[in-house]
Amino acid sequence: MTGKSGALWQMVAGAFIALALAFMAINIKSGMLQFRDADLALWPINFSVFGNELDPLQNDIELQQSLIRSFLLLKGFSEADIQLSMPKITDQHANVYGSVLPADRYRAEVTVLVRTQDVERVKTTMQSVGELVKSGVALTQSYEFQPSFVFTGLESIKPEMIADATRDARAAADQFARDAEASVGSIRRASQGYFSIEDVDPFTPETKRVRVVTSIDYILR
C-alpha cells in the first residue's frame, strides 16, 4: 500500500470510527444507598378472653382494654396514639368434632393498636409488657400482629438520592469514555428504576436501608 493510499485509508477509518462513536451509547447503572430511622411505629397489643356467656365476656374485654389503656397512658402515650379494634369472637362449640367440648364456649381475640411517631417510646415500652401480664391481661403472640416500624419520608429524599445517583453515573461514564478515548455526550435515555426500603437486619427494624437504582444511557462521541 502506497503512502498516499495508506494515509487515505487511515483518514477513512478514522472517519468511520468517529461516526461509530457518535452513535455509540453506554448504559450506566448506579445504585445509591442511605440509612434512615423509622418515623412511625405500629404496635398491636393482642389479648384473649374466654367465657361461656357473651355479656360477661364483653365485660372482661372492656376491663382488659382499660388496663392496657391505663398502662400506655402511664408510659407517656396520648389518647390519640391508642386505637381499639372490634373483638373477634369465636364460638368454640360450633365446629367441634367428637364429644369433648372446650371448657369455655367463647373465645375473644382483641387488639389495641398503638400508632405513634414516638418510635423510641414504643421500643422502651415494649420491654415493660410484663407489667400488663401481672395486672391480669392475657397477652397473646401472633405472627399476624407483629410490631412494625415504617419510614414515611421517602418523597422528601427522592430528589437528593436521584441526583446523587445521576452524578455517580456520570462519573462512571466519564471514566469509561476516557478509557475508550472518547467523550460523553448527552443523555439518550434515563430510567429512575425503583426505590426499596428494607430493615437493616431482623434485630433493628427501626433502622431502614433505602436504595435506588438508576439506569442512564449516555451517547459517546
Quote the cell numbers at residue 56.
360477661
Q: What is the pLDDT of residue 174?
A: 87
Contact 81, 114 (CB under 8 A): yes
Domain ranges of the chain: 19-37+153-220, 40-150
Q: What is the pLDDT of residue 57?
A: 95
Q: What is the pLDDT of residue 205?
A: 92
| pLDDT tens-digit profile, the chain (221 residues) | 555 555 655 665 555 555 454 456 778 888 889 999 999 999 999 999 999 999 999 999 999 999 999 999 999 999 999 999 899 999 988 877 777 888 899 999 999 999 999 999 999 999 999 999 999 998 988 777 889 999 999 999 999 998 898 888 889 888 888 887 788 877 888 887 789 999 999 889 999 999 998 888 888 87
Q: Using the structure block, give the residue that is written with the C-alpha cell 382499660.
A: 66
Select from 3.40.50.80, 3.40.50.720, 3.50.50.60, 3.30.110.170 the CATH code of 19-37+153-220: 3.30.110.170
CATH architecture for residues 40-150? 2-Layer Sandwich (3.30)
CB atoms within 10 A of CB 171: 12
Q: What is the residue type of 110?
A: V
Contact 147, 126 (CB under 8 A): yes
- What CA–CA distance (Å, rounded) separates 59 from 51? 10
What predicted TM-score, i.e. pTM, was given to this entire model? 0.77
b/e string for 31-70 if b means 16 or more Cβ within 10 A? ebeeeeebebbbbbbbbbbebeeeeebbebbeebbebbee
One fold for 19-37+153-220 and 40-150: no
DSSP summary character for residue 80? G
202 phi, psi to nearest 5 deg = -65, -15
Q: What is the pLDDT of residue 18?
A: 52
DSSP summary character for residue 7? H
- What CA–CA distance (Å, rounded) separates 110 from 41? 19
- Beta strands 207-220 and 148-150 are unpaired
- What CA–CA distance (Å, rounded) separates 75 from 45? 14
